Amino acid sequence: MAHPIQQQQDDNKDLEISHVEAIGGGGTTHAPIDDKYLNHAEDDAAKILRETGPVEYTIDEDRRVLRKIDLWVCFPMLLTYTLVHLDKSSLSYAAVFDLKKDTHLKGEQYSWLGSIVYLMQLIVQPLSAFALVKLPIGWWVTANVFGWGICLSCMAACHTWAGLMVTRALLGAFEATIAPSFIAMTQMFWRRREQTYRNTAWLMSSSLAGLFGPLLSFGIGHVKSGIKPYQGIFLFLGCITIALCPLIYWMLPNDIASARFLTQREKAIAVERLRDNNTGTKTSKWKWDQVREAFTDPKTWCWSLMLSCMALPSSGIGTFGTLVTKGFGFNSFDTILFQIPASALTLTFLLAGTWTINKTKLRFPVVAIFTLFPIAGAVALLYVPRSNPHALLGAYYVTMLYTPLQPLVYSWANMNAAGTTKQRVVGGIMFIFQCAGNVAGPQVYLDDEAPIYRTGLYADLACWCLLFVLICSMAVYLKYLNRRQEKKRERMGGVARKLDTSIMTLEEAAAYKAQLAANGDGEDINLHAFDDLTDLHNPDFHYVL
Give the angle 98-103-105 at the CA atoms, nearest 5°: 90
- In this prediction, residue 20 has a pLDDT band, given cuts at 50, 70 and 90, of very low
Task: Locate the DSSP E strands across 22-100.
Answer: 57-58
pLDDT in tens, 113-156: 878 888 888 888 778 878 887 888 999 999 999 998 999 999 98
- In this prediction, residue 30 has a pLDDT band, given cuts at 50, 70 and 90, of very low
Q: Which of 341, 344, 371, 366 is nearest to 353 (CA)?
A: 366
pLDDT in tens, 340-362: 888 888 888 888 888 898 888 88
Decide if 213 contacts 345 (C-beta within 8 A).
Answer: no
d(CA 121, CA 319) in angstroms, rounded, equals: 16
Give the angle 169-242-119 at the CA atoms, nearest 5°: 15
Q: Taking the CB of residue 87, how many other CB atoms lie within 10 A of it?
A: 26
- Name which of 193-202, 355-364, 431-440, 503-512 the model is least confident about: 503-512
Q: Which of 230, 198, 252 is nearest to 411 (CA)?
A: 198
3-state secondary structure of 256: coil
Classify residue 104 as exposed, middle or buried by CB count within 10 Å of its CB (0-12, 13-18, 19+). Answer: exposed
Torsion angle in degrees (nearest 10) through CA of 39, 41, 46, 47: 120
3-state secondary structure of 58: strand
Give the per-residue pLDDT at 524. Answer: 55
Give the per-residue pLDDT at 397. Answer: 86
d(CA 335, CA 325) in angstroms, rounded, equals: 6
Give the per-residue pLDDT at 250. Answer: 94
Decide if 416 contacts 478 (C-beta within 8 A).
Answer: yes
Give the per-residue pLDDT at 13. Answer: 35
Going by the DSSP 8-state scheme, the letter that residue 449 receives in this structure is G
- Residue with the bigger pLDDT between 244 and 130: it is 244
Decide if 89 contacts 209 (C-beta within 8 A).
Answer: yes
- Name which of 85-94, 97-106, 317-326 the model is least confident about: 317-326
Residues near 72 by beta carbon (within 8 Å), at least 6 away in sequence? 251, 252, 253, 259, 261
Decide if 25 contacts 494 (C-beta within 8 A).
Answer: yes
SS3 per-residue string spanning 266-309: HHHHHHHHHHHHCCCCCCCCCCHHHHHHHHHCHHHHHHHHHHHH
Q: What is the mean pLDDT of residues 458-471?
A: 94
b (16+ CB within 10 A) / e for 207-222: bbbbbebbebbbebbe
Give the per-residue pLDDT at 151. Answer: 92
Give the per-residue pLDDT at 80. Answer: 92
Give the angle 497-500-503 at the CA atoms, nearest 5°: 155
Q: Quote the crossing angle between the two packed helices 75-96 and 161-175, to the nearest 10°.
A: 160
Q: Taking the CB of residue 136, how many other CB atoms lie within 10 A of it?
A: 14
pLDDT above 70 covers a percentage of the chain that reads: 84
Decide if 40 contacts 287 (C-beta within 8 A).
Answer: yes
- Residue with the bigger pLDDT between 513 and 167: it is 167
d(CA 364, CA 471) in angstroms, rounded, equals: 6
- Residue with the bigger pLDDT between 348 and 55: it is 348
Question: Does residue 12 carry a pLDDT above 80?
Answer: no
C-alpha to C-alpha distances, 241 to 150, 234, 238, nearest whole angstrom: 8, 11, 5
C-alpha to C-alpha distances, 141 to 106, 222, 256, 274, nearest whole angstrom: 35, 34, 16, 23
Classify residue 302 as exposed, middle or buried by CB count within 10 Å of its CB (0-12, 13-18, 19+). Answer: middle
d(CA 30, CA 311) in angstroms, rounded, equals: 43
Q: What is the mean pLDDT of residues 62-66?
A: 92
Question: Does residue 104 carry a pLDDT above 70?
Answer: yes
Q: What is the mean pLDDT of residues 430-459?
A: 83
- Residue with the bigger pLDDT between 331 and 179: it is 179
**In the Cβ-directed half-sphere of 396, how many Cα atoms lie within 13 Å?**
28
Q: What is the mean pLDDT of residues 380-402?
A: 84
- In this prediction, residue 526 has a pLDDT band, given cuts at 50, 70 and 90, of low
pLDDT above 90 covers a percentage of the chain that reads: 22
Give the per-residue pLDDT at 170. Answer: 92
Beta-bridge partner residues of 5: 58
Spell out the domain ranges in the chain: 60-259+289-481
Q: What is the mean pLDDT of residues 490-499?
A: 72
Give the per-residue pLDDT at 277. Answer: 67
Q: Which of 303, 309, 314 is nearest to 363 (CA)?
A: 303
pTM flag (> 0.75):
no
- Residue with the bigger pLDDT between 203 and 16: it is 203
Question: Does residue 529 carry a pLDDT above 60?
Answer: no
d(CA 101, CA 362) in angstroms, rounded, equals: 49
- Name which of 52-66, 163-177, 322-336 the model is least confident about: 322-336
CATH class of the structural domain 60-259+289-481:
mainly alpha
- Name which of 101-110, 188-197, 221-230, 234-243 the model is least confident about: 221-230
Q: What is the mean pLDDT of residues 173-182?
A: 87
pLDDT in tens, 292-350: 988 999 999 999 999 999 989 887 777 666 667 776 777 667 777 777 888 888 888 88
